Chains A and B, each alone.
Chain A
């Protein structure tokens, strides 16, 4: 079989390098598509739908609504109040009242006029909704973490590649200038030979309890069964729906490690030019007041996931250390480096790491050009697999060895069984 679903390494490096400059890339809007006054003709617009949009989703949607060649036409949400709020947001941007609302995401996905979807549900729905979307022929921008398990990360990548769809993981730091600069310092050898990459993570938690049962609201107000979706059954409690699902084993990804790890370990993978692989071992360390997991790549580079000990450069910090220098940066846009020579060439702080405007533009450009996005599904797969492997090591409380090709733990049946979870009926994909 001559199929080559993944780019060759050379093309891959070129494409990620190209993607890294996307923050400077213009909107791809055909001149022929521009009508009078520079507006985009309706036939040339990307029609966008949204699934499960709340806090973070609204920020991403806000950036999407600013794009001249995008029109948001439909929202699907299990909550009536969210359907109403997002419709109002879209209608204001569109200057009409035509944004459609759906409780059932499948009705939205079945619309043949919609080109792409923004998926910003909780973690439990990210991969299943994305897979449904690509099966319905949509391109997908999916908030992170994109997959609750190693197996789902694999299935998601397989589905996107099989259907030839464009996929962007919501790891927008790949298109933020200061993170890109830090990565380039590591990749270019200006730090010397890369020794250690550091990724920040939240305090890890793997809650197994259930909140007390509360009376279930009418389905049209909050569709609890669909909110749960593929997650295991449990009784309704409003707190989950209002965002307090984080930290629960059944709803969160890898004991919360992926909440930041999907960003920060992703940047470490990139800095180590390891987008096509993962570390080969992880070991949780007992460090008072912190969660520290130390890993190692096959090329000898060490990776340290930790909560504390950062320089105060904002949330989601990363640090790359070579044998001749180091760089650290975070969401503030500020950077710290080890020498005056490196300091002299730092870019000025531009955007915070949380701003997705470059990332959404990259997505829409790729929807048109069919090029891989900066955080395409093959990149996201390896990052998510690496994060889950680290989280499983922490949950088990022991050192694990990992095979990056097979994406399996070596000689550890318990760990291997934790690579997947059953999906509640009838929500399997």
Chain B
């Protein structure tokens, strides 16, 4: 039984009695029928909103057609999607796909998002088409949804669009490709390298490089070393974070690059050495403990007890 419901909702729930909250199939069916009848009536927006939220938990394919009629509604579209996102029956996905053709503006953006949340594979061709539209909000929503779905077809289309897209589009598509890398491990290196080597904002380049190092594992040490040697501190710090994610595999590269770094970078590397407790770092830490540079010396002395 649902708990602690407030008075207005209790009034609404009363209209649905005697079935609300009981788990039997027939009772659920009766409850659903009553909720659908609320949606199809002249009930208030509040009552319809609450009916949608309840259908999100108990609804099935019988509720889908009625919920779909609410998708263009400015106030109720999000409520209807709450139900359509969660009803597992394929008809809910089909209704959202159909809505791609007959809703617009913010509501279209919402429908696209819900298809991404459902990871609706059948929506991919239509979402790919939406990448060619003029509306930047629709473009961004479609790219994000394709990234969330992350199958081969979605990823290949995002990749192709990324190559030809302008810088603003690349920023959106690049993020979607990073998500695809999480979904399709065998193509992750391809996507991460593509993004990090493209003309993208610095933060996206850093994210792609971080992912490219980590996903390579032991094979990522060259890229890790290159990043540790970078002139800019943001790339160095990203590399340090990637080294932490790699764990012991990264230790030789860190030790190899240690001496050549500026003191403030060595100090940060010493924190990592101490954190790892890896015996291979001990010689470097001991030597740093005698450094003339106070910052290096202090961090080395802090690290030593870990060994």
Contact = CB atoms under 8 A, between A and B. Distances in A.
B141 A368 contact: no
Given A7-B244, A30-B295, A422-B117, A164 B277 contact: no
Contacts of B144: 428-429
A242 interface: no
Interface string B187-219: 010000000000001111011001100111110
Contacts of A232: 49, 53, 78-79, 82
Nearest to B7: A209
Nearest to A30: B264
Interface string B37-59: 00000000010011001001110
Contact of A423 (B50, B78, B179): B78
B5 A206 contact: yes
Contacts, number: 186
B6 A112 contact: no
A420 interface: yes
A80 interface: no
Contact of B215 (A1, A255, A414): A1
B178 A162 contact: yes
A33 B262 CA distance: 13
A88 interface: no
B271 A420 contact: no
B81 interface: yes
A425 B113 contact: yes
A244 interface: no
Interface in A352-399: 368-372, 394-397
Contact of B113 (A206, A249, A423): A423
Nearest to A110: B201
B78 to A, nearest CB: 4
A8 B250 CA distance: 14
Nearest to A205: B4
A240 interface: no
A219 interface: no
Interface SS majority for chain B = helix
Interface string B1-38: 11111111100100000000001000000000000000
A259 to B, nearest CB: 15
Interface string B152-193: 000000000000000000000001001100100110100000
A233 B48 CA distance: 12
Interface in A4-18: 4-5, 7-8, 11, 14-15, 18
A51 B74 CA distance: 26
B6 A426 contact: no
Nearest to B203: A137
A233 B78 contact: yes
B217 A424 contact: no
A5 B214 CA distance: 8
Interface string B233-264: 00001101110111100000000000000011
Contacts of B178: 162-163
B18 to A, nearest CB: 17
A3 B214 CA distance: 5
A418 interface: yes
Contacts of A239: none
Given A164-B241, A414-B58, A424-B110, A3 B3 contact: no
A162 B179 contact: yes
Contacts of A55: none
Contact of A137 (B5, B201, B242): B201
Closest 4 CB pairs of A and B: A137-B203, A2-B217, A425-B110, A208-B9
Given A206-B3, A232-B49, A424-B110, 6 more contacts: A11-B276, A32-B263, A206-B5, A369-B268, A371-B272, A396-B2
17 contacts: A3-B188, A3-B211, A3-B245, A11-B275, A14-B277, A30-B264, A30-B267, A163-B203, A207-B9, A208-B8, A208-B12, A233-B79, A370-B238, A371-B271, A395-B2, A396-B2, A426-B141
